[in-house]
Amino acid sequence: MADDISYYLLILLAMKRKHIVTLLILLSLTILTAIVARFPQLLFLILVLGVIKFLLVAFQFMDLKKAHNFWKVSLVFLLLLITLIVAVVKFA
């Protein structure tokens, strides 16, 4: 019984550590986006950083990693397509 409780407590702590790491990555990407935002010629980099942050949230906190492969590939492809369209329109 005590072994089971300590095992599940260890799993709970490991899951929280994973979320904390993801949160730190998101915060650092947000700070990087704020720094890069001073340079308007780097719009594409700002868009890519936004897509990376969105994918981190979707896969880590919305459990998209458990979804069917079709939805994973569709989401990534759609985000990249929108990013490329916005970048091409901006620079054209």
The predicted-structure confidence for 61-77, as pLDDT tens digits, reads as follows: 888 888 889 988 998 89
Q: What pLDDT does 31 receive?
A: 95
How many domains is the chain partitioned into structurally?
1
Can you give the residue range of the structural domain that contains 47? 2-91
The more confident residue out of 17 and 71 is 71
Q: What pLDDT does 12 receive?
A: 64
The more confident residue out of 53 and 7 is 53
From the list 26, 28, 34, 35, the residue with the least C-alpha distance to 54 is 26
Q: Give me 33's structure tokens.
A: 């986006």
Q: What pLDDT does 32 receive?
A: 94
- Give mean pLDDT, residues 7-20: 72
- Give mean pLDDT, residues 56-63: 86
Q: What pLDDT does 29 receive?
A: 94
From the list 53, 45, 55, 54, the residue with the least C-alpha distance to 90 is 45
Q: Give me 68's structure tokens.
A: 């069917």
